[in-house]
Amino acid sequence: MGLTDDEKRRLTGGTGLPDLSKLPVRVSRKKAAELITQFFFETSPRSLERWPVPWVLINGRAHGKLIDIFAVAESKLTDATAVMGGRGGSSQRRIA
């Protein structure tokens, strides 16, 4: 039996996904960036301007539906490519 994404996230030290019923339906970019940083990965309100999320201006501030914002964050997380660190490829040098 395989693990769900939420269980995998908890096993690797991350927090599980939040209960959306306890969070507001719409949030500002600033609050969205805080929630994404808490549950997915670090981001800023400025970078959210480029995300394909419908924003509504309320009192001069852009607000979006949290479920849409989390869906984009989840897709960005699953589409991210792994990058290997360390020294150069197959020809590793020995340091004497």
Beta-carbon contacts of 41 under 8 Å, excluding residues fewer than 6 positions away, are 73, 76, 77
Give the C-alpha separation, 30 to 34, whole Å: 6
How far, rounded to the nearest angstrom, does the alpha carbon of residue 20 sit from its chain's CA centroid? 15
Q: What angle do CA 82, 85, 91 make, to 5 degrees?
A: 120
- Whole-number pLDDT of residue 60: 92
Asked whether residue 90 is domain-assigned, the answer is: no
Residue 7 pLDDT exceeds 80: no
Strands, sheet with 61-65, edge to edge from the N-terminal-most edge strand: 26-28, 61-65, 56-58
The residue type of 28 is S
The residue type of 43 is T
Asked whether residue 74 is domain-assigned, the answer is: yes
- Whole-number pLDDT of residue 68: 96
Asked whether residue 16 is domain-assigned, the answer is: no
Asked whether residue 1 is domain-assigned, the answer is: no
- Domain with 38, as residue range(s), is 25-78
Q: What angle do CA 42, 39, 66 make, to 5 degrees?
A: 100
Asked whether residue 89 is domain-assigned, the answer is: no
Asked whether residue 92 is domain-assigned, the answer is: no
Structural domain count, the chain: 1
Asked whether residue 36 is domain-assigned, the answer is: yes
- Whole-number pLDDT of residue 84: 84
Asked whether residue 44 is domain-assigned, the answer is: yes
* pTM for the whole structure: 0.72
- Whole-number pLDDT of residue 52: 96
Percent of the chain with pLDDT over 90: 53
The pLDDT confidence band at residue 63, using thresholds 50, 70 and 90, is very high
